[in-house]
Structure 1
């Protein structure tokens, strides 16, 4: 594949049944929800063998993200091509209608709990919709130990050890690997390391309607991965980097990803030289201009800008809000 054949890429969403899910993602994505089961996750950008993202339009329609990286690592990943053999992040929309299990993910250092081919899992959320019963549980209360947490699992009082807050639309929350967490009655955008390793500590007595049984817990592994020094986790305060021609706020920056929010109604620049970027439209609409072509951007649209695409002009039609995601060296 010639670098010139790459362009701003859209991918088909990959819907996932979850017993705690709902139907609110139909308001965020144009692809219809499958069947009548609750959908908890839409995987927006996934370079995984089990659920690969597929280009949805243009000359490269039908190609997977993994195929594009294998064929053109530097045009896709730019100066990061030597660091990654696959796209290192997994992007999702979550509709958490009920409450997510209380869970924890291992860090990269805890290799004994990470299957071959996986990594640790630091993740972050940006709240898109908050319901009347919305809640985020993140971290542990001071004084929580493995002993009293095990007792709480047995007697159903785990929530007593979890600091929590009621989130609002626009809040961003960083969940480092090893942090105990859960959330409920929310629609969020999630960015995470490209890993599917989760250990359930407690599941609120959920029964899976497909099996009629509680879901399995992984208490031993979860306990081993918990960072008991992690206190309460609160929303991250945005840092204003620029106010014109667009309000540019840094929401999150860690060793795995960077995330900015761009808000405005005047034309502004997105993308970067020799770095891939991902755009997630969360409000309003507009057009992205590249190489003489226009690409529509509306609520819920997700576009990967391969590194070779570089900087582009985004032209809003009225007020618009974009999230722009960068990989580590561009954070």
Structure 2
């Protein structure tokens, strides 16, 4: 479930992660001092070929002076990709370290987790993204190495005239129909993203980017028809809207 409140954030700060103030049992192998202040993380950037400069010009992110940048990762705990705390007594620690030291403060007592399960990012889609599909948890567990599934929710902050989002399939499209519509290429898994089509463009090395045709076809749920945008829903608090609910 995603909720949106309207806080005032410091300059260059995109996300603040609130925590609880639960204290642990003194015998537990965890920290007994609570993690009871809002966490601010340093963003990290990805220079994918479809990015631009708006992460800096619009969101005031400290991207490098040269090159195009597609994503600003605000909160991440995924292997070697780690958010670094920028404020308070835990400054300099990774989110993964905090998960190990303060599991109940981050998740509550009912939801233990080995990693922080959400990834928050800003995107600058200056050019077309590749057509992709992401596996669910069951499919992600079969990868080598295994990984979590990837359920996405996008909140569009700004769009130029004529901008489009392609999502879902037309009703009645089968796996065979889709297979005929794409060009076969070498199939290599890329974490939890399978690239179905990339507009016949090349990467920074001058070579066509790898496609994952069969994995994409195996992952797509062909029973789902057209997908429609979801409107924010009100809650009992007039300052909070529900953006998304996910199983």
TM-score where L is the length of structure 1: 0.60
> Residue in 2 aligned with 1:68?
98
> Residue in 1 aligned with 2:244?
252
Describe the SS at the equivalent of 1:43: strand
Superposition pairs for residues 179-194 of structure 1, below 5 Å?
none
Deviation per CA, 1:5-29: give whole Å up to 9, x if none. 5411100001011100111111454
> Residue in 2 aligned with 1:59?
89
> Residue in 2 aligned with 1:90?
119
Describe the SS at the equivalent of 1:67: helix
Structure 2 CA distance for aligned equivalents of residues 98 and 111 of structure 1 = 28
> Residue in 2 aligned with 1:47?
77
Deviation per CA, 1:233-282: give whole Å up to 9, x if none. 111133222364x3x32221111xxxxxxxxxxxxxxxxxxxxxxxxxxx
Equivalenced residues, count = 212
Distance 1:35 1:214, change over 3 A: farther
1:144 matches 2:173: yes
1:202 matches 2:202: no
Structure 1 CA distance for aligned equivalents of residues 79 and 69 of structure 2 = 21
Deviation per CA, 1:58-113: give whole Å up to 9, x if none. 2211011111111121222222452x111011111011110111110111222564
Deviation at 1:38, TM superposition (A): 1.2
Structure 2 CA distance for aligned equivalents of residues 111 and 197 of structure 1 = 7
Distance 1:113 1:199, change over 3 A: farther
Q: 1:154 aligns with which of 183, 191, 200?
A: 183
Distance 1:75 1:239, change over 3 A: closer
1:242 matches 2:236: yes
> Residue in 1 aligned with 2:224?
230
Structure 2 CA distance for aligned equivalents of residues 5 and 200 of structure 1 = 39
Structure 2 CA distance for aligned equivalents of residues 144 and 221 of structure 1 = 17
Structure 1 CA distance for aligned equivalents of residues 102 and 95 of structure 2 = 11
Q: 1:131 aligns with which of 150, 154, 160?
A: 160
TM-score where L is the length of structure 2: 0.79
Describe the SS at the equivalent of 1:92: strand
Deviation per CA, 1:190-217: give whole Å up to 9, x if none. xxxxx95100110111221x20111000
Instruction: Kindly indicate which of the two structures has a greater share of residues assigned to strand.
Output: 1
1:218 matches 2:212: yes
Instruction: Tell me whether 71-80 or 46-55 shows the greater mean CA deviation.
Output: 71-80
Instruction: Tell me whether 9-18 or 64-73 shows the greater mean CA deviation.
Output: 64-73
Structure 1 CA distance for aligned equivalents of residues 145 and 70 of structure 2 = 26
> Residue in 2 aligned with 1:163?
none
CA RMSD in angstroms, aligned pairs only = 2.1
Distance 1:80 1:21, change over 3 A: farther
Structure 2 CA distance for aligned equivalents of residues 154 and 115 of structure 1 = 25
Contact 1:14 1:51 in 2 (8 A): no
1:20 matches 2:15: no
Gaps (5+ residues) in structure 2?
1-30, 185-189
